[in-house]
Amino acid sequence: MRWLDHREPMPESLRGAVIALGNFDGFHIGHQAVAGEAIGWAREEGRPAIVATFDPHPVRFFKPDVPPFRLTTLEQRQELYLAAGATAMLVFHFDAELAGTSAEDFITEILLGRFGAHGVVTGGDFTFGRGAKGDVALLRTLGGEHGLHSRVVEAVSDNGGEPVSSSRIREALRAGDPQEAARLLTRPFAIRGIVEHGDKRGREIGYPTANLSIEHYLRPRFGIYAVTGRILATGEELKGAANIGIRPQFEPPRELLEPYFFDFSGDLYGQEIEVAFHHFLRPEAKFDSLDALVEQMDRDCARARELLG
């Protein structure tokens, strides 16, 4: 699957594509509907289908001090878009130049001039251009005048009638409800990273963990979770329990994701793994002794095994 940079000319083979325009961070049910409309339209007309995203997120550009809130990395998004049937992922690198581009120039110079787009599909609330002055109405009118076709997919609601949104998913994760997040995402929330060397505390108490930096991901509620893991290089699937948080039992405090995988004794250092969150077990806690911590970890792992089947 091609990974495209919006600052570069579109390869000739991908000109005339239908582009799904949006941020599509979590690629939840609503995002999938927009991308699906673009992919279906492209297939009907024998055209490439491109799914766009923004990196960094525009919110991060305008408010650099906001806490981390990303639900996926670019690599994860690329895999999700490919699985949905896209031909390529288009990354808009959100910088001062893009932020200062007028909505009119975004349509005529970027979508049409640089990309040679045939059509675009957006959500009903999609905005673009300097000051977010561009909207679906401008795409329809100005774009239409220049031969750019557009379609709009309105918000998708769940069974309760509430629109599915990334905000709802973030709220669920911060509340310690990974199952609600998974329902809206159509898959578990997952953090991907390179396994780092730690202080070996887990190994000393019989629970060796794979230490991962949380980096730019949203912080779900800190605590203990039943998780699954996937070693990207081999595809091997693992089950386990993980702590995400600051490890109050140990000094100094440091944000980490520390999965312990059942019945696994291999060396994961330096390997990229993905940890998916299935069930919240309990909040982080500091125990009176290491023995008390180990006893609780025994119970956590037994419960995680039960929940993961």
Residue 134 to residue 297: CA distance in whole angstroms: 53
Q: Which amino acid is at 73?
A: T
Find tokens 């490890």 and name the residue.
Answer: 247
Buried/exposed code over 3-38 (b: 16+ C-beta within 10 A; e: otherwise):
ebebeeebeeebebbbbbbbbbbbbbbbbbbbbbbb
- pTM higher than the cut 0.85: yes
The reported pLDDT for the residue numbered 250 is 67
Strands 2-5 and 88-92: parallel
pLDDT tens for the chain, residues 1 to 309: 799 999 999 999 999 999 999 999 999 999 999 999 999 999 999 999 999 999 999 999 999 999 999 999 999 999 999 999 999 999 999 999 999 999 999 999 999 999 999 999 999 999 999 999 999 999 999 999 999 999 999 999 988 889 999 999 999 999 999 999 999 999 999 999 999 987 656 566 678 899 999 999 999 999 999 999 999 999 999 999 999 998 766 667 789 999 999 988 888 999 999 999 999 999 998 887 888 888 999 999 999 999 999
What domains can be seen in the chain, in order of their start residue?
2-153 (3.40.50.620), 188-308 (2.40.30.30)
Which residues does 204 contact at the CB level (< 8 Å), separation at least 6?
Answer: none
Spacing of C-alpha 279 from chain mean position: 19
Q: How far is CA 109 from CA 13, 106, 115, 174, 199, in A?
A: 19, 6, 9, 40, 53
Strands 272-283 and 190-194: antiparallel
